[in-house]
Chains A and B, each alone.
Chain A
Amino acid sequence: MKTFDYVRPATVAEAVAAAAQPGAAYLAGGTNLLDLMKGGVSRPDRLVDVTHLDGLDQIERLADGGVRIGALVSNADLAHDSDFAKSYPAVAEALLSGASAQLRNAATVGGNLLQRTRCAYFYDTASRCNKREAGSGCDARGGENRTHAVLGWSENCIATHPSDFCVPLVALDAIVEIEGRSGRREIALDELHRLPGDTPERETAFEPGDLIVALRLPPAARGFAAHARYLKVRDRTSYAFAVVSAAAALRIEDGKIVEARLAFGGVAAKPWRARAAEDVLRNVAPTVDAFQEAARRALADAKPSGDNAFKIELARRIVVRALSLAAAGTPARIPALPASPFAPTSGAIHARA
C-alpha cells in the first residue's frame, strides 16, 4: 500500500501540531480508516496515532450531573459501563447494535463520531464521488441507492452518516470537546456534521489538526433514562448498518410528556435531530395518535433520492414504534438483540392487528 509517515505523539498538543499539516489523519481504533486506506479511498501521507495519549480513556461523572467520555474509550467499554448504561440506556443500546463485538472492542468514541459514509460509490474509487473527489460528480444518483438519504441531501451527494452511536447522542444534546491549533473549544454534536449542499467533501465543522478529546452529555440527558430507546431496522439481525434507525427519549410526568427527544440514523448525511416532532410531543399524553403526528412532522421534508421512497414510510413507522417503546419504559436490561424489533423484551405495542 501507499507509504506514509507514522507518528506517535506524546501529548495532545504534539498530536494537534502533527496532524495540522495537509494529508495527515488521526488513527485511533482504525476500524474505518484502515479499510479506507486499503481500498485507496483515503490515502493519507501521515498517520498520527493518538491511541497512546494519556487521559483520553476515562468516563467521568461530572459534578453538574453530566458525564464526560474520553475520546479513546472503546465503544464496548462505554456500552458495558453499567453506570453509563443505566443513565443513558439508549446510547448503550445504540452502541451494542452497531458492528460486531470485535469491532466494538477496537472502535473508539472519538472515531465513531467521525466515521465516513458507507455509500458504495464513495468506497469505490472507480466511481465518481463528490465527497471523495470534490466536483467529480455523484454516481450514487441514478445508481443502486435504496439505502441512501431521504433528508437533507443535495444533487451533489445523497450519502448517509452510518453511526448508531451518534443518533441518541444528538438527541441528548451531546457536546464535542475539540483540541485544535487555537486551543480548546466545544461544539454541539448536532453542529459537527454538515449537510452536503454544494460541498459534500466538507463533512464536518473541523479545521485541520482538530482532535476530539472528549464527548460530554449535559446534566439534562440523564432525565430521560426511564424512557429511552434506540430502534434500528436493518437487512439482517446483526452486523448491518441501519436502513433507518431512531432514538427516542421522553420525560414523562403525571401521564404527560414533558419533553421529547427524537433523532434518526441512516436517513441523512448527519444524525438527524427531529426537532419539529419533538415540539408536537410537548405536554401531550404519550398516545399512538400523538406519535403518529410526530412521525408526520419528522418526515415532512423527506423526499426520495432514488429507489428509497420506502425509507420515508419506514422512518415514520420507526418513529411511532420507538416512541411507543420509550413510553413503555426502558427495560431493566439491554435486550439480547439490542435495538432490534425482535428484542424479546421489546414491549412493543403492535397497534395494527
Chain B
Amino acid sequence: MPELNLTSAPAHLRHGSNIGQPLTRRDGVLKVKGQATYAADNHPPGMLFAVMAVASISRGRVISLDVSAAKRHPGVVDIMTSDHKPALAIDPDIKTNPFVFRMEVLQSNKVRYANQPIAVVIAETLEAATEGAALLAPRYETLPPFVGLDAGDSFVPPVVGVGNPTENHRGEVEAGLASAEKQIDATYETPPQYHNAMEPHAIVAAWDGDKLSVDMPTQGLMLSLARIAELFGVAHDKIHIRSPFLGGGFGSKGFMAGPQTLGIMAAKLVGKPVKLVVRREQMFGPVGHRAPTRQRLRIGADGEGRLTAIDHHARTVSSTFDDFYEPAADASHTLYAAPAIRTSHDAVRVNTGTPLFMRAPGEATGSIALESAIDEMAWACGLDPLAFRLRNYAEVEPITGKPFSSKALRACYEQGAARFGWTKRPLQPRQMRDDAGLLVGWGMGTATFPALMFQAQARAVLRRDGSGAMEIGAHDMGQGAWTALAQIAADELGLDIDRVEFKAGSSDLPDAGIAGGSAHTATAGSAIHSAGAAVISKLADLATSDERSPLFGAGNAGVIARDGRLIRRDDESRGESYSEILARAGVAEVEARGTGAPNPAAMEEYAMHAHGAVFVEVKVDPELGQIRVTRMVGAFAAGRIVNPRMVQSQLFGGMIWGMSFALHEEAITDRRTGRIMNANLGEYHIPVNADVPPLDVITVEEHDPHVNALGIKGVGEIGITGSAGAVANAVWHATGVRVRRFPIRIEDLLTQL
C-alpha cells in the first residue's frame, strides 16, 4: 500500500460531529497535483507492456494470427494466444458463485462478440506492443451473428438482475386493465450503453514466486481477490491488490473481467511485471455494458385518475455464453399504488459481450419507460403529472404490501416542485415559448432506488498518543469514500478527523464488500460504526474497571466518547483522555473489529428505498428539432447524508447521466455484423459541458431507523432514475410529440414538429 498523505486543509478541520459536514475531498489535492496513484501509474522495475488484440467479428473463430510478424517487431517479447498461455487452475466458465462473470481469456479460438480479446502482445514499450497487436492481422471464419432485440427465439430467463424473479404479480392485472376508463399501451426502446469510466480497466501485475501483487481499479477488492485465487490456484494470503483510487466504475469494475485476468496471465507467461490498459475502443465489449431493452407498458386508470393496473414487460438481451438480464420491469414494483401489478421479462441471446450492472441497472432502463408511461396516462386523464403521481402515491410498497422503512417522497415532490416553479406549468403541451421563439417544456419523473446493504468488516484502533486508526478495504470510485467514511470513523472513534488514520483501498484490510448497489457508505459505514463502538467499549472497560479512573464504576453504557476523551454520561465534567487511560493501563493501543450487514428482520418487515423527484425544463427548436435541457431540479430523500458536498456531486452526476440516457447515449451497432461503430468518446455521445444546464439538488431530510444504525440509504444511482424520464416528458411537453425510442434524436421530432 503506498502511503497516502491525505491532505489536512482548514476546510477539513471540524470539531464535534463530523457526519453531516460538507468536507471537501481529503484526496482532492493529491488528485489535482497528479499525485493520486491510479493503477496504470505504477511502474515496477522491469515492467513490460501488454496490449490486447481484439476480434473484429462478432461470431466465428480465429483461424490464423501472424504471430511471427508480431514477434519480429522490435521490442516485442512474447505473444499470448489460445495456443500459448499459462494454464489456469479452473475453467473460467465454471460459476463457482453467482458473481462469476464469464470472460474471454484465450481458452479457445472461438469468437463470441466483437472486441473480444483474441491475443495479448507483450513488449518492452507500449508502442511496440500496440504495433505488435496490429501486426497479428487475424483471419477469421465468420458466422452470421445474432444482432438486436429480435435476433432469435426469445426465452424467459430463470432470474433477472441478481436473483430477482423474472415475473412478479400482485392483484388481477387483466381485470384491472379491463375495468379501466383510460388505458395506455405503449412500447419503449432503450439502446445498449457502455460505462466508459474515465479510467479504463487497467492492471499492473507482478508475480514473485507464488505471490502475486496487483494494482487494479476494482469495486470489489475481496471479490476480485477470490476470483484471482481460484483462477490461478493461489492462496488468498499470497495475493495483494491495491486499489486506492478508481477513475469511475459505475458497475463495470465490480467483477473480475477478462482484460485484467489476461494481464495476470501475461505477467505469469513472461515472468516479469506486466501492465495492461484497456484501450478506449476495447471498453466496448469485454467489461460489461447496459443491455438494450424493449418495454411494453399497459396501464389502466379509473375515471378519477387512479391506477387500476400496471403491466410492465421488458425484452432484453444477454450474451450467447453468460447470463445477465437487465431487470427493467422491476422498476414498476415500488412507485405507484396500482392494485394490480405484473412485471415480466424475456430475452434473446445475441453476439455481444455479456451485459452487466451499469449505474442503476434495471431502475434506469425501467424508470424511463415507466415515467414516460405514467406521464402519458396523466395526460390521458387530463391531470397534471405531479397531481397524478400524488393521486397514486404508494403508502405501502405496491408489489409486496410492506410498509416503507421511511419515505419522504411527498416532501421531495413538494420541495422540488416549489424550487422549480412547477405550479405555473400549463397542462397542455406546446404552450410555452421563450423570447427567441424556442419551444419550452416542463417534465418530471419520480426517482427510486432500493436501500441495499452488503457485508463488511472494519478494524478500529485507539493509540496511546491520542490518535486512532480505522482500517477497511473500502473503494473510492470518485464518490468520496476517502472522505465520507473517514467522517464516520472520526465520529465513531470520538476523535477529530485529523487524528484518525483512515486506511482503505487495499486487499490486506478488512473486507468492505462491494462498492455497488449504492450500498457502500451504508455497508462500510456500518462496519466502521460497529468497530468504533467495539473499540470504545474496550477502552471504556479499561477505564471503568480501574479504581484510579474518574470513570470507575460508570459502566460501559455510562460513558460517552468525545474529542478524544471518555466522559461520564451522568456527569460530563468527569472524564479523562484516551491517552491517560491507555498510559495508565500500560498498553500502546486497543483494537477491535466490527461488522456491517443487512438486518434480515428489518428487511422482512419493511420495504427500503430512497426516493426523489426530478423536474426538468427543455427547449426545442420548433423547426430544427435540436433539444437542449435548460434547467434541472432534483429533490432526493436518501436517509442520512454523511457529506452533503459529496452527495450533491453524486446526484449531479446521476442527473446528468439521466439527461444523457434520454438524449445522447447509444452504442450504434451495425445491424449486419454486430460491431459497435461508435466505440470512441468522440462519437459515443455523452453530455459535454455545454449540454449541462444549471443543476439544483435538494436533499430532503429523512430519518430512517430501520435501514441501518446510521440511517444511510445511499445516493450513488438514484440520480439517473427519474431524471431520464423527466427529460423525455419535458420534450413531450415542449413539442406535443411523444418519442418512445431513446435517445431522442432530431429526426424523431423533425417531421412531427
Contacts and interface: CB of A to CB of B under 8 A. Distances in A.
Contact of A144 (B127, B622, B670, B751): B670
B628 A350 contact: no
Contact of A350 (B131, B437, B625): B437
Interface in B121-144: 127, 130-131, 134
Interface stretch (B172-180, B257-265, B682-690): B682-690
B623 A237 contact: no
Contacts of B753: 352
A56 interface: no
Nearest to A43: B134
A321 interface: yes
B521 to A, nearest CB: 32
Given A2-B131, A143-B677, A341 B626 contact: yes
A349 B134 contact: no
B621 interface: yes
Given A120-B677, A143-B677, A310-B751, A234 B624 contact: no
Interface in A315-353: 317-318, 320-321, 337, 340-342, 344, 346-352
Contact of A239 (B628, B688, B745): B688
A153 B625 CA distance: 25
B687 A350 contact: no
B751 A121 contact: no
Contacts of B687: 236
Contacts of B682: 239
A201 B688 CA distance: 34
Contact of A238 (B619, B624, B689, B750): B689
B601 interface: no
A342 B747 contact: no
Contact of B677 (A2, A121, A243, A347): A121
B678 interface: yes
Interface in A207-253: 233-240, 243
A22 interface: no
B548 interface: no
B678 A120 contact: yes
A237 B751 contact: no
Main secondary structure of the interface of B (DSSP, over half): loop
Interface residues of B, number: 42
Contacts of A143: 670-672, 677
A205 interface: no
Given A120-B683, A235-B746, A126 B677 contact: no
A181 interface: no
A350 B688 contact: no
B436 interface: yes
Contact of A236 (B664, B671, B751): B664
A313 to B, nearest CB: 6
A142 B671 CA distance: 9
Contacts of B624: 233, 314, 317-318, 321, 341
A268 to B, nearest CB: 19
Contacts of B690: 236-239, 337
Contact of B688 (A3, A124, A125, A236): A236
A236 B691 contact: yes
B526 interface: no
B746 A310 contact: yes
A63 interface: no
A118 interface: yes
Contacts of A1: 127, 130-131, 134
Interface in B12-59: 56-57
Contacts of A350: 433, 436-438, 621-623
18 contacts: A1-B130, A100-B688, A142-B672, A144-B668, A146-B745, A233-B626, A236-B685, A237-B688, A238-B688, A310-B746, A313-B751, A317-B623, A317-B750, A320-B623, A346-B436, A348-B437, A350-B621, A350-B622
Q: Pick the 4 closest A-B CB pairs, nearest first.
A: A350-B437, A126-B56, A310-B747, A238-B690
